[in-house]
Amino acid sequence: MSQIFDIGLNAKLNEFAGKFVIRRTEENDSEIFENFANYVVASNLLEEELENVKSVSTNKAQGIDGLVIIVNNKLIAEETDLNKFGPIEQIKFKIGFIQSTIKNSFDEQKLSAFTSEVVKFLAGEIDIEPYSAIYKKLLDEDGNFFNRIVETPRVSLFFLSARTSHILSNEKYESEKRKITGRKDIENKCVLDEIKILQKEEIKLEYDKISKFHSAQLKFDKSVLLLPVENVELSLLTTIKFSELKKLILTSDGTLKEKLFIENVRNFIGNTPVNNDIKKTLDNTNDRTYFPFLNNGLSIICDKIERQPVVENGFTLTFPRIINGCQTTNILYKKFKEQSENIDDVEVVAKIISTRNNELKKSIIYAANNQNSIDNDLQSLNELHKKTEIYFSGKTECNFRLFFERLRGQFSSITPSYSKVDIETLARVYTSVFLNKPHEMKSNALLVIEQLQKEGKIFNNSISEATYYYCGVLWYWFNHLLVNGSLLMRSKTMDMHILLACNVLLEMKNQKSIDEKITFLGEETNAKSIFSETTTLLNSKDYLFDRRGFYSAVKTTKLINEVKSATILSTKTTNSANDC
């Protein structure tokens, strides 16, 4: 394989390809770098590692490779993600646009075309789904979000040139900026933050930042080290001032890190009596001194705790997560955002435990939360999901292994990320494949799943663990083949329809039982064949690509019937040829 990249950048591309199980060839360097560029920029905008590299891809849209919409520090990859915000929650959002090139000379023409396409997107002159629908919904003056937006959305452009060290003239840079700032039709809709040119040296630096998002360096006030036991090398009881806690819980722009609570099975539950008491303590200057005595504090779990060699009482926490204390953290954050008084000196009690043992992690999380009167809300720990997790853990295919992440984040170090399947993903795939509702997994998936669960149509004891595992297999192969460039989709919104149609095709090819389907898909050649046939078939159905075609129940039914008919016709043609 010929060497076209700087040695250091090539090493990082290899590491990236390994993480997502992407096979590098001389023919796919451009596509791999495009995915790499999207991953680097999105991770840095989020200040956390992007797990699904295709979640920000524009699927070959002209002039724009990647599009990152972040609302309240959450990545919005689909319309349905907007349902994760409360009905009165204030909204702040930003958008990052990404374009990349591996040409050996700096391509000013491509940069100019990139900026022009961004302007067209912001002005509503082009559609890039699902991002256009998300953007329009956020800025719809008659919608649910517009009046909750608290500041003008910020826009950034990132142009990554892998093989150059070009100095762009200030005149050219300002000219590209004026394309956006000079447009009257978008001047009140967004503010241009920056147009950032990243070339080979800058790209390497941005990539190296990503690993640092996995750790936090904190200084504790008073600590008691607990004796080490099996699977727990180091743990401590401590107090931490809010001035230090901010380093753990806030992003660089002062937003609360949503993924910090990745293993906390409770959401912030608002103005309860307990939460009101916490707030009153913080509001009263005299009572604040007693905060560590009046509040239970935080429970934090992490993969590793290390002493900092030169900082007294300094520790580095790797993959830290707050598993108990969500309410306390949220109220401290709200008080901080009020900016009425400085609360940096408020002390918070914390129990910090390090372990890489997944079984022990689950026990600790359950114990930390089960002491509260919320055990009925611990859906992620119920017996049905536990049985599913055990089934997943006992299955190993020749080409891959799947992990059911019933406690989000419990397999944080597993790669590729698409080999991990969480509860929401299982529900979306099952609803699409077995309930024939892929069209309902687009804009309101969470609400639909919640209703189906109330009706007993998903996650009930009549559904076998093997069925959920089969859903995981479909999800794995779809993502693996997509990231390796083996699937060419006309639209990003066709993902769940592809999974549905794959299942229909398998049944029409006499793979009737769940076990037969799993066995068949255990071979990569079989998986590639069935997914390629399915995607080609769907790409030919123009009615699906009409406006919001993948959101239509009528068109889903039509597709199912046509997939069946196409398979029957193909079988008859093959039999006729054999007879000849």
Rounded mean pLDDT, 436-446: 89
CB 560 within 8 A of CB 442: no
Confidence category of residue 520, pLDDT binned at 50, 70, 90:
very high
Residue spans of beta strands (DSSP E) within 102-164: 154-161
Q: How far apart are CA 560 and CA 570, in angstroms?
A: 15
Q: Model confidence over 167-187: pLDDT tens digits?
A: 888 999 999 999 999 989 898
Q: Model confidence over 335-355: pLDDT tens digits?
A: 888 876 788 898 999 999 998
- Looking at this protein, which amino acid is placed at residue 171? E
pLDDT of residue 408: 64
Average pLDDT, the chain: 86
Q: Of 380-384, 415-419, 551-555, give the lowest mean pLDDT range.
A: 380-384
Q: Is 315 helix (H, G, I), strand (E, B) or coil?
A: strand
Please indicate whether residue 377 or residue 396 has the higher confidence score (pLDDT).
Answer: 396
Q: Of 61-70, 178-187, 227-236, 401-410, give the lowest mean pLDDT range.
A: 401-410
pLDDT of residue 340: 66
Q: Is 231 helix (H, G, I), strand (E, B) or coil?
A: coil
DSSP 235-263: EEEEEEEHHHHHHHHB-TTS-B-GGGGTT
Of 276, 325, 339, 272, the residue nearest 296 (C-alpha): 325
CB 439 within 8 A of CB 432: no
CB 193 within 8 A of CB 94: yes
Q: Model confidence over 40-98: pLDDT tens digits?
A: 999 999 988 998 999 999 988 889 999 999 998 899 999 989 988 888 888 999 999 99
Partners of 69 in the beta sheet? Answer: 95
pLDDT of residue 445: 86
- Looking at this protein, which amino acid is placed at residue 434? F
Phi-psi region of 288 (alpha: psi -120 to 50; beta: other; left: phi over 0): alpha
Q: Which helix (H) or strand (E) holds 486?
A: none
pLDDT of residue 547: 83
Q: Model confidence over 271-287: pLDDT tens digits?
A: 666 677 777 778 878 88
Check whether 438 has a pLDDT greater than 90: yes
pTM here is: 0.82
Confidence category of residue 293, pLDDT binned at 50, 70, 90:
confident
Check whether 372 has a pLDDT greater than 70: no
pLDDT of residue 199: 92
Q: Of 376-390, 402-416, 434-448, 533-547, give the lowest mean pLDDT range.
A: 376-390
- Residue 229 has phi, psi (to 5 degrees) of -130, 175
Q: Of 252-266, 445-459, 545-559, give the lowest mean pLDDT range.
A: 252-266
The number of C-alpha atoms within 13 Å of 481 and in the hemisphere containing its C-beta is 27
- Residue 403 has phi, psi (to 5 degrees) of -130, 125
Of 233, 238, 198, the residue nearest 65 (C-alpha): 198
Q: How far apart are CA 89 and CA 95, in angstroms?
A: 19
Cα distances (Å, whole numbers) of residue 295 to 273, 467, 543: 13, 44, 58
Question: What's the first-to-final CA gap in the chain, in angstroms?
Answer: 46
Check whether 573 has a pLDDT greater than 50: no
pLDDT of residue 313: 86
Q: Read off the tokens for 281.
A: 């303590």
